[in-house]
């Protein structure tokens, strides 16, 4: 009797496991079906699509449906591309629904790209930009600025930040060289970083004092 009981318990556990699996598959299929239903109105429903996509990706729920990668699910079940899916998830993750829908899909993503081109020290918040209708382009509120102009404003901003980052790295390198040279007993030099070259310079007076032991 004990053996029969164990068999019954094992059968029950297996049945419950299969039921849970079927329930999970049905849940994920419902999410996929919701996205498919929204595809026709992606212009207005882009935020909802991005939110559901992010849930499928972040919870690795695509595996429930037998896909090894999230990208495989995108290619097999939806009419939009992987880059579009990525942009939709970015918008849904970075902007609340009211702010995102106020701008529309393309402009919302452009604003996020613009904010990302800023350094963390500048604390450029895309939500704050939208809510204040900030003039990213002088003389134009954000809500009236074409996407191409927002993206154009991002490029020089990113280039400027990259240039500043390069200067900061050059300064740090020059300081390090000065310190190591001085620690080695040599006079403290002038150091100039020229792209791939580091120029270390001493004056004649420095060398004369050094050779005299001064």
Q: Is there a domain that residue 14 lies in?
A: yes
pLDDT above 90 covers a percentage of the chain that reads: 42
Q: Is there a domain that residue 31 lies in?
A: yes
Q: Is there a domain that residue 137 lies in?
A: no
Q: Is there a domain that residue 54 lies in?
A: yes
Indicate the number of domains in the chain: 1
Per-residue pLDDT of 132-151, as tens digits, reads 998 888 888 988 899 998 88
Compute the average pLDDT of residues 165-171.
65
| Residue that wins the pLDDT comparison between 28 and 14 | 28
- The answer, as to whether pTM is greater than 0.85, is no
Q: Is there a domain that residue 103 lies in?
A: no
Angle between helices 70-77 and 2-38 (to 10 degrees): 60
Q: Is there a domain that residue 5 lies in?
A: yes
Per-residue pLDDT of 180-207, as tens digits, reads 777 777 777 787 877 778 777 877 777 7
Residue 32 is part of which domain span? Answer: 1-94
Q: Is there a domain that residue 41 lies in?
A: yes
Per-residue pLDDT of 67-112, as tens digits, reads 999 999 999 999 999 999 999 999 999 999 999 999 999 999 999 9
Q: Is there a domain that residue 34 lies in?
A: yes
């Amino acid at each position: 009797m004990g053996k029969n009981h164990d068999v019954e318990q094992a059968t029950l556990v297996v049945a419950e496991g299969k039921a849970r699996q079927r329930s999970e598959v049905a849940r994920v299929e419902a999410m996929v079906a919701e996205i498919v239903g929204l595809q026709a109105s992606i212009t207005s429903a882009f935020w909802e699509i991005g939110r559901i996509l992010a849930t499928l990706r972040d919870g690795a729920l695509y595996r429930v449906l037998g896909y090894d990668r999230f990208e495989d699910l995108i290619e097999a079940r939806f009419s939009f591309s992987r880059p579009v899916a990525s942009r939709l998830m970015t918008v849904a993750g970075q902007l609340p629904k009211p702010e995102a829908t106020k701008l529309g899909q393309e402009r919302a993503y452009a604003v996020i790209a613009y904010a990302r081109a800023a350094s963390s020290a500048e604390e450029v918040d895309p939500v704050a930009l939208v809510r204040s209708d900030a003039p990213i382009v002088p003389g134009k509120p954000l809500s009236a600025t074409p996407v191409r102009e927002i993206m154009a404003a991002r490029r020089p901003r990113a280039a400027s930040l990259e240039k500043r980052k390069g200067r900061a790295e050059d300064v740090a390198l020059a300081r390090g060289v000065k310190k190591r040279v001085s620690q080695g007993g040599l006079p403290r030099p002038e150091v100039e970083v020229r792209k791939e070259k580091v120029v270390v310079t001493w004056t004649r007076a420095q060398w004369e004092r050094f050779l005299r032991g001064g």
